[in-house]
Amino acid sequence: MSKFGVLALACLMFWSCGTDNGTAENETENENSITMINTETINGKEVKTFELKNKNGTTIHITNYGAIVTKMLVADKEGNLENIVLGFDSVSEYQQNGYYFGATAGRYANRIAKGRFSIDGEAFQLTTNDGQNHLHGGNEGFNEVVWEAESFEDNSGVGVRMVYVSPDGEEGYPGELTTTATFSLDDNDVLTILYEASTDKATIVNITHHGYFNLSAMKEDILNHELTIYGDHYTPVDETLIPTGDIVEVNNTPFDFTSAHKIGERIAQVEGGYDHNYVITKEYTGDLKKQAELYHSGSGRLLEVHSDAPGVQFYSGNFLDGAQGTDGNTYNKHTGLCLEPQFFPDSPNQPNFPSASLKPGETYSHRIELHFKTR
């Protein structure tokens, strides 16, 4: 047999000749890493993008502009790493668009009716940036400010810690609020996001991660994704998406995701599409719970959302309208969906909802875990 023939036979026997052995090599050689992949100056402040990578190759990009997660490269069932979140290539595109892609939403994520609330009889008026209502912290929320950032490495993995000090009165909120957002990735493919805040005056706080997921890596829309939400009640809304104050059972309605359903199955029965808060616990306990599970059978990717917040907003990307994003993708209606752990919308005006108030001396703490798996 010729030398070439022997090589070909050996290749067949081991099946792993050529590029196929790349995966095995990566498995043994990959280490955790944090790399700064880009810096630019915005309003005189340094904006950096960090790349967190674990030994499986799972890769998260985070910028300190808005504490935004810009990319999540996650394996499908064949081991292919692809980006599963909507985003943009440049900070200026995040500045121009109001979708809150991958953003840290705060001080108060979601809506506050007419931007009004009171604490101990004192009335406050927030900026109104969503018709007559206040949404996701106002005109310049946490997603549009530059955070101080530093990377770290510890026993559990690699991460970035960011701090933003919001002045008293910013967007109408009382109290100087110091917020820390810590993002860390471990070798079990869990991205943990911890938001902590303290104030010098009584105020309200509700901070969340506003990622838009598409587990097919944008190859199709999210209507075939299967969703489970571990909450058997939801908070119905009026025509401006403010809760009516009722807490209603999902049983026998198109809102029932207590067992897995394709998102497209009943979406036509929900006017405008899903954009609703699900009640995980009516009484806030502060315990970490699995809130939701999202599965895409084509890729085998599965995402679990865990949080210690009492609610989760399921938003089916109804207002996406053709923006051009990362990797040349076009983001149309239902290209991505959000699962945003949170206090219920408009809690400061709804006495029967868990309270989002924060007083001096207390620490607001919200932990979110995104578990990436395949099935």
Measured from the Cβ of residue 146, the count of other Cβ atoms closer than 10 Å reads 21
User: By CB neighbour count within 10 A (0-12 exposed, 13-18 middle, 19+ buried), where does 136 fall?
Assistant: buried
Element (H, E) at 262: strand 261-262
Q: Clarify whether 306 is annotated catalytic.
A: no
- Alpha-carbon gap, residue 59 to 214, rounded angstroms: 16
CB 70 within 8 A of CB 102: yes
Instruction: Identify the residue whose tokens are 């590029």.
Output: 19
| Choice among 61, 134, 210, 296 that is catalytic | 210
Calculate the CA dihedral of residues 260, 265, 268, 269 and round it to 10 degrees: -60
CB 66 within 8 A of CB 78: no
CA distances for 21 relative to 8, 55, 59, 162, angstroms: 15, 16, 21, 38
Q: Which of 279, 263, 249, 302 is nearest to 353 (CA)?
A: 279
Q: Clarify whether 61 is annotated catalytic.
A: no
Please report, as ranges, the residues that interact with ligand BGC according to CB under 6 A. 99-100, 110, 241, 275, 313, 315, 319, 338, 340
Q: Name the token pair of 85.
A: 């979140």
CB 225 within 8 A of CB 337: yes
CA distances for 342 relative to 175, 209, 291, 321, 372, angstroms: 21, 9, 11, 25, 20
Q: What is the DSSP string of 174-220?
A: -S-EEEEEEEEE-TTSEEEEEEEEEESS-EE-B-EEE-EE-TTTTSS
| Residue partners of 43: CB distance under 8 A and separation at least 6 | 146
What single-letter DSSP state applies at residue 85?
B
| Closest to ligand BGC by CB, 87 or 159 | 87
CB 262 within 8 A of CB 224: yes
Active site residues: 210, 340
